[in-house]
Chain A
Amino acid sequence: MSIAFVIAAILSTALGSLAVALLSREEKGLRNGVVVGSALLGMILVWHLGFAIPSGVYPEISLAIASLSLKLAVDPLGLTYGLIASTLWVFASVYSIGYLHGDDKQKQYFTFFLLSAGITLGLAFSGNLFTFYLFYELLTFATYPLVVHSGTKDALQAGTKYIKYSLVGASFILAGIVMLAFGTGGILDFASLPTALAGLPLGRLVVIFFLFLLGFGVKAAIMPLHGWLPAAMVAPTPVSALLHAVAVVNAGVFGILRTVYSVFGADLVQSMGVRPFLLLICSITILMGSLIALRQDVLKRRLAYSTISQLAYILLGAFLLHPLALAGAILHMIFHSTLKIVLFFSAGIVAEETGYLKVSELSGVGRVLPLTMGSFGLISLGMIGMLPLSGFWSKYYLLRGSLVTGSWPLLVVLLVSGILNAFYFIPITVSAFSGQSELLPRKRTRLVWLMLAPTLVLAILGVVLGLWPGLTWPLVHAVVNQFFIL
C-alpha cells in the first residue's frame, strides 16, 4: 500500500498548485498556508517512504499509457533525490513567501512553484524510462514561468535559452528511448533494463548512451551544455536556489545516474569503454567551472559556475563505476544541495536588503547582516570541503574512490578544484566582515525573518551532517547496495 504514499506525495503538491491557481489573487494568507502546507505534506510523505529503506521492500505501480506504461516505483536512488528535493522545497517555500512579499505575481509564482514540486517527485519515483522522460520534459515547462518571473527582457531571453537547451536535450533523450524500446521490444523498466540490454550490439548501445548523456547533460550543466544555467540567474533568488542548485540540475544528474546504473548497469558501461572519455569531460567541467567562477563578479553568477563545477563532482563519482565513488557521488548530491541552497539564500537576502549584487560591493556587508554573511562564510567552507562541514565527507569518498580505481590524475583535479573553491569563496567572507561599509542597518520592510530562518536552519544542518555524516549512511548504503553486490 505504500505506493499510495508516492501518489499522495505527488498529488499533495500538484493539488496544492491547483488550489493556488483557483484561489483569488488577494487571499494571501490562505495561499501561503496552502503553499507551505502542501510542501510540508509532500515532505512528510516522502520521509515516510524513506523509513522503508531498512526493510528493503520497495513498492511500485504501473498504468498503461500510449502503448507505453506509466510506472511509479520507489528505490533507494529515487528516494535520495526525492528526499533532497521534497525537504528543501519546504525551506524554499518559506523563503519564497518572504522574498516575494509585495510582489504582484505571487499567484502565478506559487502555482508553478508547487507544480514543479509535484513533477520533481514524479521524476524521483519514475519506475521506467518513459515515465522519467515524461516528468523530465514537464519539468522544463513547469519551471519556465519561474525563470521568466520578472517578465523583463533579460528574463525572457534567459527563459528562451533555457527552453531551447532543455527541449533539444529532451529530444536526444526521446531518440535514445525510442531506439532502446525498439531494441528491447518495449522493455523500459529500470528494474529489468540492464539485463534486457545484454544482447544488443555494443555500437548501438554506445550511441544510445551518448544520446542520453547529451540529453541529461543539459540539465546537469556538463560543459559545453551549461550555457543556460548562468543565464537563468535572472530568476528570483529562491528559484535560483531551489531549481538551479537543487531540483532541476539534480534532475539532470539523477538522469545520468539512472542512465549509468539503472539503464545500462555499471558492467555494461565498463565494457563499452567510454569511461576515460566521461572522466575527462567531468574533469574539464570541474576545473573550467571553478576557473570561470573565479572571474565572476556578480555573486549569483559565481555561484552558478560553482554549481556547474560541483555537479561534475557528482558525475565524476558516478562514472568511476566503483562503490566508494558512487557513495561519494550520492553524498555529494545530498551535501551539495543542502549547502548550495544556503549560499543562494544568503545571496538573496543580501541583494534584497542592500541591493548589492556584485562581489566587489560586498565589503563590510557582514557588519550589517552578520547572520546572513556568517552562514554564507560557514557554508562556503563546506563547499571547499573543510571540516566540520558536510562537504568534506563527500569529497573524501570521491578521493578514495578515485584512488581505489587507480585514477590518480583525478586526485589532482579534485585537489586543485578545492583550492580554486577556496580562492573564490573565502575572499567574499573576509571582505564582508573586514571591509568598511557606508551601509546603515535599515528598517526591514520585507519579511526578512522568513528568509533568514530557513537559511540558518539549513546552515546548522550543514554542520550537523558534517559532524555526524553517519546520519545519511542508511540511504547511501542502500543506493550502493542497489547497484553493486558488496
Chain B
Amino acid sequence: MSLVVRDNLPVLIVVALLSSAYVMPLLTKIRRFRFAEFFAVFMIALALSGGIYLGQGILNHGSFTYAVGGWAAPWGIELSLDAVSGFFLITIGLVATPIMLYASYDLVAEVGSRSRAAWFLTLFLLLVAALCGLAITGDIFNIYVMVEVATIASCAIVSARNDSASVAATFKYLMLATIGSGFVLLGIGFLFVLTGNLNLNYIGQTLRLTWQNYPTALWVALSFFTVGFGVKSALFPLHVWLPDAHSTAISPSSAILSSLAIKGYIIALLKIFYVGVGAQIIWELPITAILTLLGMGAIVAGALFALAQDELKRRLAFSTVSQVGYIFLGIGLGNIHGLTGSFMHILSHALTKALLFLAAGAMIKRTGKTRISEMAGIGFKMPVTLGVFAIGSLSMIGIPLFSGFVSKWQLLLGALAKGNYLAVLVLVAGSLLAAAYLLPVLRTALFVRPTPTPAKDEAPSVQLVAMVFLAALVLVVGVFPHQVLQLAQKAAATLLRWGVL
C-alpha cells in the first residue's frame, strides 16, 4: 500500500486535493462545520508533507517523470518532478496551511453564511490543487487546464463575501484574467502548430532543431505568453485588476491570492520559457531584456503606488505589484543567480506577504480601522500581531536574517553578473521604497500612543498560531537558508541546463 502511495505520490497530491475539494459541501452537511475546516487544513498539510518528501527525494536523487495513467509521453500526460516542482510544492504547502488555519477561525462570519463558507473551502482547495498541478505538470495543455482552474477559483474566492466592492473587483479581475487566458491559449496554439507536441520536453527538443526556420512565429508565441501570464500574475503595467481584487477580498483570500496564486502563473511561464523553449533560444530573442525592463518598472511603480495608499490592504496589494517585479527581474536576468533569486523570492514573498495580509486582517478585524493613519497605538492593543507584522516588514525591506535578504542578495549578484548596474540601483531603491511604505505603519501603530493607552486585545489564538508560524518561517529561511537555497539553486540550474542540453 505504502509503496503504491509513494510511487504515485505526484498525482495523488493533486487528486487528493481535488477530490477533497468536491467533498467539502457534502462534508459540511453531514458533519460539524469545524470538522470540515480542519479536514481542509489537514489535506493541505498532507500535501505539504508530500511536497517535502518529493523535494527531499529530488534534492538527493535528482528529478524524474511520472506518466499519468501509465500512458507514456508524448501521448499521455507527463508530470515532470524536478527541483522546480519540489520547490513550488513546498512553498504552496508552507503558505497555504497557515492561511487555511487562520481562515478556519471565523470563516462563516466572514463570508456571511454556512453554505458560502462551504463553497469557500471548496474553492480554496481547488486553487491549491491547481497550483500543485502547475508545479508538477510537464504538459503544456495541462498547464492551460490548471491555469483556468486556478483563475476561476481565485475569481470566486475574491467575491466570497458577496458585497458590492468585492463583486465589482471580481468582475474586473474575471474580464482581464479571461483575456489573459485567451493569450495563453493562443500561445499554446502557436507552439503546438510549430512543434506538433504538447509535452514540454518534446517541444523543447523540436524547437532546438527548427526554431530558426520561423523565429517570428516563435517570437509572437512568446509575446502571447508574456502578456497572458503577465496579466494573470499582475506584471506592471498589466496589474490593474490586482489592487481592487486583493484588497476587497477577505484577508485569508488576499493572503493566498497575493502570496501563491500569482506565483503559479509565474511558474507556468518559467516552465514554458525555459523547459519548453529553452534558455538559449530565449536569450537570442529580446524577451529577456523586455522582462528585465518590465520587472524594474514594476518594482519602482508598484512601490510608488503603494506609497500613495492610506488603506492598509491596498498598500499591501500594490506592494505585491512591486515584489512581483523582483521575480520578473530575476527571470529577465536569466542567469543562475537571477533565477535562484526569483525562486527564493517566490518563497520569501509568499511567506512574507501572507504574513502581512493575515496580520493586517487581524488588525482590521479587531479595530474596524482600515486606514493606516487611523491605526495609532494598535501595537499596544495587539503586540504579537504587530510584532509579526514588523518581522514581515523587515523581511520585505530585505534586512539580513530575514528571508527577503536571501533573495535580494541573489538578485543583486545576478544583476552584477549580467553587468546590469541599473538593476542593482533599482533593487536597492526598491528595498528603500519598501521601507518607505511599510515602516510608517509600524511607526503609527507602535510609537504613536493614544491617550488613554488601549487595553490589550489580541487576535484569537488560532490566528496567532498561523501568523507566528509564518513569522518563524521567515526567520528560519533568513537565518538558515541553506536547504531551501540549495533547492532553489537546483531549480534554477534545472531550467538552465535543460536549455543548454
Contacts and interface: CB of A to CB of B under 8 A. Distances in A.
Indicate whether A and B interact: yes
Interface of A: 64-68, 130, 133-134, 137-138, 141, 145, 148, 151, 156, 159-160, 163, 167-168, 171, 174-175, 178-179, 181-182
B417 interface: yes
Interface in B36-73: none
B176 interface: no
Nearest to B397: A167
B465 interface: no
B399 A67 contact: no
Contacts of A66: 400, 405-406, 409, 478, 481, 485
Contacts of A163: 435, 439
Contact of B480 (A65, A68, A160, A167): A65
B305 to A, nearest CB: 20
Nearest to B439: A163
A145 B447 contact: yes
Interface stretch (B197-205, B360-368, B424-432): B424-432
A67 B447 contact: no
Contacts of A64: 482
B175 interface: no
9 contacts: A65-B481, A66-B478, A67-B485, A134-B401, A156-B448, A167-B397, A175-B428, A178-B416, A182-B417
A156 B447 contact: yes
Interface in B385-420: 394, 397, 399-401, 405-406, 409-410, 412-413, 416-417
B413 A178 contact: yes
A339 to B, nearest CB: 32
B400 A167 contact: no
B152 to A, nearest CB: 39
Contacts of B443: 148, 156, 159-160
A175 B426 CA distance: 11
A82 B98 CA distance: 42
Contacts of B416: 178-179, 182
A174 B447 contact: no
Q: Which 3 A-B pairs have the closest CB atoms?
A: A134-B400, A178-B412, A182-B416
Contacts of A181: 413
Given A65-B401, A66-B478, A182-B416, 8 more contacts: A138-B401, A151-B447, A156-B443, A156-B447, A159-B443, A167-B397, A171-B429, A175-B428
A159 B400 contact: no
B373 to A, nearest CB: 13
A218 to B, nearest CB: 13
Given A138-B399, A182-B417, A67 B428 contact: no
A137 B397 CA distance: 11
A178 B424 contact: yes
B439 A182 contact: no
Interface core residue of B400, B417, B428, B480 (most chain A CB under 10 Å):
B400
Interface in B55-110: none
A442 B472 CA distance: 52
A133 B400 contact: yes
A156 B445 CA distance: 12
A41 to B, nearest CB: 24
A223 to B, nearest CB: 22
Nearest to A207: B421
Interface of B: 394, 397, 399-401, 405-406, 409-410, 412-413, 416-417, 424-425, 428-429, 431-432, 435, 439, 443, 446-449, 478-482, 485
A151 B453 CA distance: 13
A171 B399 CA distance: 10
A159 B447 contact: yes
B262 to A, nearest CB: 25
B447 A175 contact: no
A171 B432 contact: yes
A468 B259 CA distance: 63
Contacts of B480: 65
Contacts of B425: 175
Contact of B432 (A67, A151, A168): A168
Nearest to B435: A167
Nearest to A183: B416
Contact of A171 (B405, B428, B449): B428
B412 to A, nearest CB: 4
A148 B394 CA distance: 19
A179 B428 CA distance: 13
Contacts of B435: 163, 167
Nearest to B407: A66
Interface core residue of A67, A133, A134, A141 (most chain B CB under 10 Å):
A67
Contacts of A168: 432
Contact of A137 (B400, B417, B439, B449): B400
A118 to B, nearest CB: 13
A137 B409 CA distance: 15
Contacts of A179: 416, 424
Contact of A67 (B429, B446, B481): B481
A182 B410 CA distance: 11
B431 to A, nearest CB: 7
B432 to A, nearest CB: 6
Nearest to B440: A160
Given A156-B443, A182-B413, A130 B400 contact: yes
A64 B478 CA distance: 12
Contacts of B479: 65
Contact of B431 (A130, A133, A134, A171): A171
Given A138-B399, A156-B443, A182-B416, A68 B448 contact: no
A437 B394 CA distance: 51
Nearest to A179: B416
A161 to B, nearest CB: 12
A167 B485 CA distance: 26
Contact of B409 (A68, A151, A159): A68
A64 B406 CA distance: 13
Contacts of A167: 397, 432, 435
B406 A137 contact: no
Contacts of A182: 413, 416-417
Nearest to B436: A164
A423 to B, nearest CB: 38
Contacts of A65: 401, 479-481
B398 to A, nearest CB: 8
A168 B429 CA distance: 9
Nearest to A67: B485
B341 to A, nearest CB: 11
Interface core residue of B428, B478, B479 (most chain A CB under 10 Å):
B428
B13 to A, nearest CB: 30
Contacts of A174: 412, 428
A368 to B, nearest CB: 34
B448 A151 contact: yes
B10 to A, nearest CB: 29
Contacts of B485: 66-67
Contacts of B401: 65, 134, 138
B80 to A, nearest CB: 27
Contacts of B406: 66-67
Contact of B399 (A141, A148, A178): A141
Nearest to B429: A171
A178 B413 CA distance: 7
A357 to B, nearest CB: 23
A321 to B, nearest CB: 29
Interface core residue of B399, B406, B447 (most chain A CB under 10 Å):
B447
A178 B448 contact: no
A204 to B, nearest CB: 11
A64 B481 CA distance: 9
Nearest to A64: B482
